[in-house]
Structure 1
Amino acid sequence: MNHLLSRFSAWVALGLLVAACAKDDVAPAADHLALGNPSGAVASTTSPTNYLLTKPQYVLSYNRDQGKPNWVSWHLDGDDLGSAARQDDFRADESLPADWYRVKTSDYSGYGFDRGHNCPSADRTASEDDNSATFLMTNMMPQAPQNNQRTWADLEDYCRTLVRAGNELYIICGSYGRGGTGSDGYYTTIASGRVTVPARCWKVVVVLPTGSNDLGRITSSTRVIAVNTPNNINVNAAWGGYRTSVDAIEKATGLDLLSALPLGVQDALEASIDKGPTN
């Protein structure tokens, strides 16, 4: 666990969550960041590599210099899964500061990488607007097709299976490093250097039976799934083989995950490696 980062943002998120009597009363940002702000991101142009973007559907830390998120965090329960069709309206995010470059969907063309969602399209099907929000380019990372369409897709499907079985999830997803191999070979950047191709893609999933007072219900025995995959075309289809600890992801990224939880619970959850089912 990275205890060197400030815990101020964690206390803010905790205060916002506790102030609500029920989940329906929680503001979206507080809900999506209930487990903490992993990098202490702020919505200030003085923080271009750790810029906080808040959407009703998810919250993220955007890295202007890499043209992709450092992390994206969201809450997922049965209310998020509906019948809205996939919108496929990939587009630049106009909410970024006016003088920043806004990555376009065409910036990914010709390199052999997918526009890989962090918060998946299928996690937001309650309405067309919710689904459309996942196609903003600030939610994308250059992802090897075999990873995005196979390994990552299976992990995303499994998460929704858990929700349909009566659970709610807190999910944090991101990427790090430099250099990946897509269908057209190895690249460190695309779009004339404006978008960094990550070396690794990771995800942390906290699984809870549906209920209220979520932070109070997370204990040292709560299931936490942490996955870290290589961003290349040789990635194994079975995501379960890439399970790791939260501690290991924190060490690789410098983030402070699950920071809103009591330290004893954090220590236990972040050191363990999930051995639960994968389908």
Structure 2
Amino acid sequence: MRKRIQSYLVVLLIMAVGCKETEVTPKKSTDLPLSEHLTLGNPSGATAEITDYNNYLMLKPQFVLSYSRDRGTPNWVSWHVSSDWLGNADRQDDFRADPSLPTGWYRVSASSYTGTGFDRGHNIPSADRTKTVEDNSSTFLMTNMIPQAPNHNRQTWAALEDYTRDLVGTGMEAYVIMGSYGVGGTGANGAASTIDNGRVTVPKNLWKVIVVLPQGRDDLARINESTRVIAVNTPNCNTVSADWGGYRTSVDAIEQATGYDLLSALPEQLQKTLESKIDNGPTR
């Protein structure tokens, strides 16, 4: 009898172990691989949990973003730009819905902005990813777009993007975080709060933070109190000045406006020093 009981217990143990090995555990954000594009930190604590509808972390080889399902736009996009990412690949212009969004979520399409008076405004610009065709194409996913006032996109932001790449051309590299917040902008057709039948929110403000370093290794360890940090906060309107330098502010001010914790990977005291400054360096 004792042997039968022992045999029965062994069978139950084997079954329990077998069941345990076949359980599927949902992937948590902490299980995901680290990305160079999050070197400065995760500003909103975004996660890859599908239930995190308005702060959904999306890791791509070329950049990282926090996506808002309800707004139909990214909250922020973070990326590294250096000579390693720049080459001769042509601009692909293949705007398209992002197939990696969770099943059942509305996918903003290439035509969602048509006739709205707003540009399909890149967060990470196309010209920051020209090493390969695949890299450039990735920037045309609609999860990288916001409704952006045309003059803002083509003048103000274009000048800031060009300046960033000019810095890279002189032997620097940059870590960039761009985001938007608020509701309501003014495009070519006037003011609007949403487009695409209310499924895409038009942001009120666009901001960007750029940390500039000489090319090198161990980038996070090389950031110090003298590192140049450019923080810009602009209205999303067609009458915006083409001079982005006039919109410089502090990282602290952007954090206060957004509720994000920028540069969170840095030591606390270094954060305080860098985030309180307003850049006064050259703009071209």
TM-score (norm 1): 0.90
Q: Indicate the residue corresponding to 1:172 in structure 2.
A: 177
Structure 1's unaligned 5+ residue stretches are 1-8, 17-26
Residue 270 (structure 2) aligned to one of 250, 257, 265: 265
1:129 to 120, 126, 134: 134
Q: Give the equivalent residue in structure 1 for 2:73.
A: 68
How far did 1:260 drift?
0.4
Partners of 1:148 and 1:241 in 2: how far apart?
A: 16
Secondary structure at the aligned position of 2:249 is classed as coil
1:45 positional shift = 1.2
Match of 2:219 among 206, 214, 219: 214
Partner of 1:186 in structure 2?
191
1:23-172 alignment, distance < 5 Å: 29-172=34-177
Aligned residues: 256
Structure 1 stretches of at least 4 aligned residues deviating more than 3 Å after TM superposition? none
Q: In percent, how many aligned pairs have the same letter?
A: 66
For residues 71-109 of structure 1, the C-alpha deviation after alignment (integer angstroms, 9 at most, x for no partner) is: 000011001110000000000000001100000011101
SS in 2 for 1:108: coil
Please give the TM-score of this superposition, normalised by the length of structure 2: 0.88
Shift of residue 30, structure 1, vs aligned partner: 2.2
- 2:269 is paired with a residue whose SS is helix
Cα RMSD over matched residues? 1.4
1:266 aligns to what SS in structure 2? helix
User: Which protein is bigger by CA-based radius of gyration?
Assistant: 2
Residue in structure 1 matched with residue 17 of structure 2 by the alignment: none
Partners of 2:216 and 2:258 lie apart in 1 by: 31
Q: Pick 1 or 2: higher relative contact order, CA cutoff 8 A, min separation 6.
A: 1
Deviations 1:195-229 (A, max 9, x none): 00000000000000000111111011100000011
Gaps (5+ residues) in structure 2? 1-28
| C-alpha distance after superposition, 1:41-83 (max 9, x if no partner) | 0111110000000100000000000000000000110011100
